Structure 1
Amino acid sequence: LGSPEKPPLDMPEFQEEGRRLVKVGAVTVRASALRIVENFLDMSHFPYVHTGILGEEPVTEVNDYKIEIREPEDEIWATDCSFFQPQAAASADDGQISEYMYRVSSPFVTVLYKTCPVVDGAWDLVGIFVQPKDEAECDVHTFMLVFDDTSTMADLVHFQQEIFLQDRSILENQIPPGLPLDPKDEMAIKADGSSMMYRRWLRKKGLTFGTYRGSESSQAA
């Protein structure tokens, strides 16, 4: 968007010995880029959309977590997030309480840091780079940086693709298609802390591309 005011996000994990870089590939989604990023930040849908993988009933409550904008980087960080997950990663052989951190470095780029099932104290990373084609369609490029010596590359790619394709059917049917930035347009609940911070952050930037603009259509039909 315009002339970049800062370099791309720094991820020293790319240099860590033993990590595997998984290029999941690009998936086309008929949705606003902002809707896609917001969905990535949302934990409340885990038990209902990713049943048996990232969540399951009756464990549906989103625990309290911290959310902030870090300066001077101008990045959104959500920390102290946790959720019970039946299969947190391709390498997981049992359910676990996964610790999460979310990082949004630009309107279309976000990275998830989550508890590694096989290395104590380590984080696995999942990131998405959303490339808008227009306000109504995007290519979503996904990568993972994981510690996993047992899964094949195909297993790792298929695991992440299964999760994302479950999300796609939801994203392509959201109403309104554009992301509402006015708090009056949608009712928020406590679990929506990351979403609300993301929307305020976008509003402060004056971003309108991919947003819901009232009676004015924000996206092509």
Structure 2
Amino acid sequence: MNDEHRGWYPVAAAADLGTGPRPAALFGEDLVLWRDEAGAPHAFVDRCPHRGTRLSLGAVRVVDGRAQLECPYHGWRFDGAGRCLHIPAQPAFTPAAGQAAQGHPLREAHGLLWVSFDGATSALPDPGPVPGRAVVCGPYDVATSAPRVVENFLDTSHFAFVHEGWLGDRGHTEVPAYEVLLRADGAPGVPHYRAWQPQASAQSAGGAWIDYRYQVLSPCSAVLVKQAGGDTPAPQEAYALWVAPLEPERSRVWFTLYTSDPVTPDATLRAFQHTIFTQDQPVLESQRPRRLPLSGGEAHCAADRLSAAYRRYLQAQGITYGVC
């Protein structure tokens, strides 16, 4: 198993998985997600062990009170553990262990469904102390590598250009000196960064100085916490970035917005984040190479110290997927 296959990765928003099967993907492998009679989610390889048909084209049937995933080709049915329970062509036959569907551990957290390829031996990425209200934004399918998406999230010097009038303006382009600290696992973070932003959040009516805190959570996830200054500070917000590497140069992206604001509608919060990320997306997709260079090939300056620390972290973690 490659090092980057260890850990947990998002594959869908929890709210998007209803009563039927749903296709998903991770590291080039097609998956099918479904819920049992208790609402517990499950993830299988999207391939029936009989003739390789996509199980996501099938249905969830409730038989004798038990939800079972049914293959659309020959009607083989599987329980949440992947065991084959019924073969319609041989109704009296008890299916063998070799006729089971292949599954992966699946957990629900941060409004998303997470799959592990390493037997669930790792901890889920944890954004730490964040406000209690959570709003999931996405997904966004992006034609670039997962590390490129994470590095962009950590980058502050593009605010005045890519997000002009929103997160930055051309009167405030300088990136002040900031300190990068490493967690015990080597993941870099910035405990304090201050920036001027014309509209820092969906609720903002004007510009403000914003205190930022960044932390890389895993090779494909990170969080930033924002707090406006002034006499009447805006509600604290945290934005967690979660990236699923679909292929080395193709990613699926979600954000979980945590806010202490109890009033602003979810749709307004999502619209703000949608505006910001769709400003980033064409720039991300224009970058060449699409895989993040870890061994030279791109110039750096002092404003890039967090990006440089993230690249060193990926090297130390043995990451090879989506990098060059």
Q: After TM superposition, is the score higher than 0.5?
A: yes
> Is the CA contact (8 Å cut-off) linking 1:109 and 1:128 kept in structure 2?
yes
Work out whether 1:91 is the aligned partner of 2:207: no
1:216 is matched with which residue?
none
Q: CA offsets per residue over residues 18-73 of structure 1, 9 Å max, x none?
A: x32111121100001000000000000001000111001121001111102111x4
1:198 is matched with which residue?
310
1:185 is matched with which residue?
297
Structure with higher RCO (Cα < 8 A, 6+ apart) = 1
1:76 to 188, 192, 197: 188
Work out whether 1:8 is the aligned partner of 2:124: yes
2:144 is matched with which residue?
31
Going from structure 1 to structure 2, the CA distance change for 1:60 and 1:176 (only over 3 Å counts) comes to: same
Q: CA offsets per residue over residues 91-110 of structure 1, 9 Å max, x none?
A: 11121111111111111011
What displacement does 1:161 show? Answer: 0.6
1:131 is matched with which residue?
244
What displacement does 1:121 show? Answer: 9.3
> Is the CA contact (8 Å cut-off) linking 2:213 and 2:224 kept in structure 1?
yes
The code of the aligned residue for 1:144 comes to L
The code of the aligned residue for 2:209 comes to I
1:163 to 272, 276, 286: 276
Work out whether 1:143 is the aligned partner of 2:230: no
The code of the aligned residue for 1:62 comes to V
What displacement does 1:186 show? Answer: 1.3
> Is the CA contact (8 Å cut-off) linking 1:47 and 1:56 kept in structure 2?
yes
Hey, which of these two has a bigger chunk of helix by percent? 1
1:63 is matched with which residue?
176
What displacement does 1:11 show? Answer: 4.0
Equivalent position SS for 1:167? helix
1:152 is matched with which residue?
265
1:112 is matched with which residue?
224
The count of corresponding residues between Structure 1 and Structure 2 is: 207
1:218 is matched with which residue?
none
1:51 is matched with which residue?
164
1:172 is matched with which residue?
285
State the percentage of identical aligned residues.
34
Question: Residues of 1 paired with 2:214 and 2:227: CA distance?
Answer: 12
The code of the aligned residue for 1:103 comes to Q
Equivalent position SS for 2:267? helix
Equivalent position SS for 1:66? coil
* Alignment TM-score, normalising by the size of structure 1: 0.87
The code of the aligned residue for 2:261 comes to D
Question: Residues of 2 paired with 1:158 and 1:111: CA distance?
Answer: 19
What displacement does 1:123 show? Answer: 3.5
> Is the CA contact (8 Å cut-off) linking 1:88 and 1:117 kept in structure 2?
no
Question: Residues of 2 paired with 1:10 and 1:208: CA distance?
Answer: 23
Going from structure 1 to structure 2, the CA distance change for 1:11 and 1:127 (only over 3 Å counts) comes to: closer
Gaps of 5+ in 1: 213-221
Question: Residues of 2 paired with 1:2 and 1:177: CA distance?
Answer: 20
> Is the CA contact (8 Å cut-off) linking 1:128 and 1:141 kept in structure 2?
yes
Structure with the greater alpha carbon radius of gyration: 2
Moved more, 147-156 or 166-175: 147-156
Question: Residues of 2 paired with 1:174 and 1:3: CA distance?
Answer: 27
Question: Residues of 2 paired with 1:151 and 1:107: CA distance?
Answer: 32
1:219 is matched with which residue?
none
> Is the CA contact (8 Å cut-off) linking 1:126 and 1:144 kept in structure 2?
yes
> Is the CA contact (8 Å cut-off) linking 1:178 and 1:211 kept in structure 2?
yes
> Is the CA contact (8 Å cut-off) linking 2:187 and 2:310 kept in structure 1?
no
* Alignment TM-score, normalising by the size of structure 2: 0.60
Question: Residues of 2 paired with 1:56 and 1:188: CA distance?
Answer: 22
